[in-house]
Amino acid sequence: MGQLPTVSPAEDKAMARAIELAARGLGTTSPNPVVGCVLLDSAGHVVGEGFHAYAGGPHAEIVALAQAGEKARGGTAVVTLEPCNHTGRTGPCVQALIRAGVSRVVIAVDDPNPLAAGGEQTLRDAGVEVLTGVRTAEAEEGNIAWLTSVRRGRPYVIWKTASTLDGRSAAADGTSMWITSEAARMDVHRLRGTVDAIMVGVGTVLADDPRLTTRDLRTGSLAIRQPLRVVIDSQGRTPAGARVRDGAAPTLIATTALLGGDAEGRVDLRAVLSELHHRGIRSVLLEGGPRLAGAFLAAGLVDLIISYVAPKLLGDGPAALVGAGVTTITDAIDLEVLDVDRVGPDLRLTARPRVSADSGTL
């Protein structure tokens, strides 16, 4: 679909800006994608910008067109995702672009959603020049949760882990507050604010009684938007008084009675992700514990790993990962390291598994 792009420097720069704008919608647009749009007039000057801020709100193209007004006529729309071609909670963006008199549309990523796709052809049929494939890799990376959800029928799963340099998640006596620094914990709350759900196993609930909310650690106040809290709890052992039931955020207790399981009575992980997908959840932050992470990794259901490593040594204590299905070095889960950064005194390593599997249970 499409053709090899021939873009001007102004259009390329505009796409970089559109990708930057799209990121502002992370955490608030689900179940919709993040999208950014920059409008150029016929001389290549920026006359409008927009991004999709929240589900049900105006799309990026509509916001940019409203800024540009008549200056959009004869100009170029540079957008990170193929403009939608259907009427949902808002009207089709392709028709808005056509009515505005835009003569050219530059697209980063074709829409994989069959319900909304077809915008490119509709634009061409209306006499609008369309170029696709501009900064596609960057735009896909910024919209990876939604794209994964559409393509695989399940949410994008991020495993967040915190450990000492020797891979311990707690000391031998079970104490784990705090392995990482306040700067790292603040970074985790920022990360929580970009996802739709936070998931732990019932063991973590029983051991630590976490709230699993997004907070400002400077003030202690809760963020306005809270992700769904998900507890994998095959036998329904989450106490009635657990803080995940405190009403500060919505909570789903995933039991075998609710979602089914395998012969050993474990919750079917794919069933959990399928249920979350149907609820409009496009990204999940997997926070604990080590066996839950191991089950997801063994099943090939982890898309990204964000590991906070503290410059500490414990020598003993629980490992950060258990039961990932690796018994020999040749079975090691190979990772592609994407980024290594300092967060206060700690290191934050971002990586993704190179190979994905198809199924799993817990």
Single out the catalytic residue among 11, 20, 49, 61. Answer: 61
Edge-to-edge strands, sheet with 197-201? 251-254, 228-232, 197-201, 283-288, 156-164, 304-310, 346-353, 335-343
Identify whether 61 is a catalytic site residue.
yes
Give the β-pairing of 251-254 and 228-232.
parallel
**Residue 161, Cβ density class (10 Å: 0-12 exposed, 13-18 middle, ≥19 buried):** buried
What SS3 state is found at 63?
Answer: helix
Is 38:46 a contact under the CB 8 Å cutoff? yes
Separation CA 314–CA 121 (nearest Å): 60
- CA-angle at 30, arms to 24 and 36, nearest 5°: 35
**Residue 341, Cβ density class (10 Å: 0-12 exposed, 13-18 middle, ≥19 buried):** exposed
Q: Known catalytic residues?
A: 61
